[in-house]
Amino acid sequence: MPWINIPKVEGNASRQAHTDLPAGTYERELGKEGFYGPSTQMYHRHPPTSWLTVEGLLKPRAFDTKKLVYSGNCPWDAPLLFSNANTQIRFMKLENDMDHLVRNADGDELVFVHQGSGELYCDYGHLVFSEGDYVMLPRGTMWRICVQESVSALLVESTNDSYRLPEKGLVGNQAIFDPAILDVPKIDDAFIAQQNEAQWQVVVKKGNQLSTIAYPFNPLDAVGWHGTLMPVRLNWRDIRPLMSHRYHVPPSAHTTFTSSRFVVCTFVPRPYETDPKALNVPFFHSNDDYDELIFYHAGQFFSRDHIEPGMMTLHPSGISHGPHPKALKNAEKKRGIMTDEVAVMIDARDTLEISEQAKTIEWTGYVDSWK
């Protein structure tokens, strides 16, 4: 069914979104379906985040994965930090090679490598990975990791669903990244060399319960394959972001992977807007349809203060959010010609539950950081 979509203008307002704001005002966007549906830009005398206090479920929150302490060499040992019916988000640390295989029977798995490097062995072959790589593993793929340098990684499960690439519309299929850049595992000498007749175990996650299957041989024993279902690797450095020097493009333009009820976006370095009338920091917006979870990978996130690599922020749906005061002050005096941030954003259509383990690494002062 079509939206009620009748463009109107009332009072003192800009004629185009995110540009030529009325003097002394702060723009706030109200929208449906995140940034994908109809929207209205409102112009306020005060920043919408200038609250005195926020109590309850709507409180913006921040977490520091560097403070996680756990041991184990299995991804299912990794702490579950956030979840809903459509996703499970973990943070994994591996110091040593995995001595078994794992398989996710609940959904596709997306691994974002925050630190370290290693080799991934799976049904499809051998894949070398390093810092900044996404590795998407289709549901049911058996895999294990051999560590070259201690690995820390974000794990994002698409529960009972699949990852897809975003629609690219007017800009064409090669925009953001050309699918030809996606790497796939190889049945190479290293893969053949790891095949043996020793006993191996596969730990399978199904319905959030673990089962163990033992084999008298290494089940990664494929000699070849062909088809259109396979793991893929993409590094953030291969992403060429959509941008405009005259318009601050919304986060939806940075979508990297999609699932039915959430999207994964990647913020990478890009030039600042240069048009003197264009807003050059993220606009305030009412986050009414999506919970927004951001993992900060590298650099200095230009709309946030007191946030370092390895931290995560959660902005629940139902409350406005936007740039910190320091970012607003720097809007006219940029730190250079380019942003230097790298971050992964997960926009979830359904409320993300915060685990007890996540609460142990929370920075409780985040809600006051807009003051």
Q: Residues of CATH 2.60.120.10 domain(s) within the chain?
A: 49-62+241-368, 72-236
Q: How confident is the model at residue 340 (pLDDT cuts 50, 70, 90)?
A: confident
Residue 352, both tokens: 């993300």
Q: How confident is the model at residue 288 (pLDDT cuts 50, 70, 90)?
A: confident
Integer angstrom CA distances of residue 107 from 87, 127, 155, 163, 345: 9, 21, 12, 9, 19
Q: Write down the catalytic residue from 18, 114, 248, 324.
A: 248
Q: How confident is the model at residue 334 (pLDDT cuts 50, 70, 90)?
A: low
pLDDT for 94: 96
Domain boundaries 49-62+241-368, corresponding CATH code: 2.60.120.10
Q: How confident is the model at residue 197 (pLDDT cuts 50, 70, 90)?
A: very high
Q: What is the pLDDT of residues 302-315, one digit of tens each?
A: 666 688 999 999 99
User: How far is 116 from 97, CA to CA, in rounded Å?
Assistant: 13
Domain boundaries 72-236, corresponding CATH code: 2.60.120.10
Report the percent of the chain where pLDDT is more than 70: 97
pLDDT for 160: 97
pLDDT for 70: 83
pLDDT surpasses 90 at 19: no
pLDDT surpasses 90 at 325: no
pLDDT for 303: 63
Q: What is the pLDDT of residues 84-109, one digit of tens each?
A: 999 999 999 999 999 999 999 999 99
pLDDT surpasses 80 at 59: yes
Is 254 known to sit in a ligand binding site? no
Q: What is the pLDDT of residues 202-221, one digit of tens each?
A: 999 999 999 999 999 999 99
pLDDT for 177: 95
Is 291 known to sit in a ligand binding site? yes
pLDDT for 367: 92
Full DSSP string of 141-180: -EEEEEEEEEEEEEEEEEETS--BPPP-GGG-TTSBS-GG
Q: How confident is the model at residue 335 (pLDDT cuts 50, 70, 90)?
A: low
pLDDT surpasses 80 at 134: yes
Q: How confident is the model at residue 226 (pLDDT cuts 50, 70, 90)?
A: very high
Whether the CB-CB separation of 118 and 133 falls below 8 Å is answered with no
Q: Residue 248 catalytic?
A: yes
pLDDT for 302: 65
pLDDT surpasses 80 at 336: no
Q: Which of 92, 56, 86 is nearest to 71 (CA)?
A: 92
Q: How far, in whole angstroms, is CA 99 from its chain's centroid?
A: 28
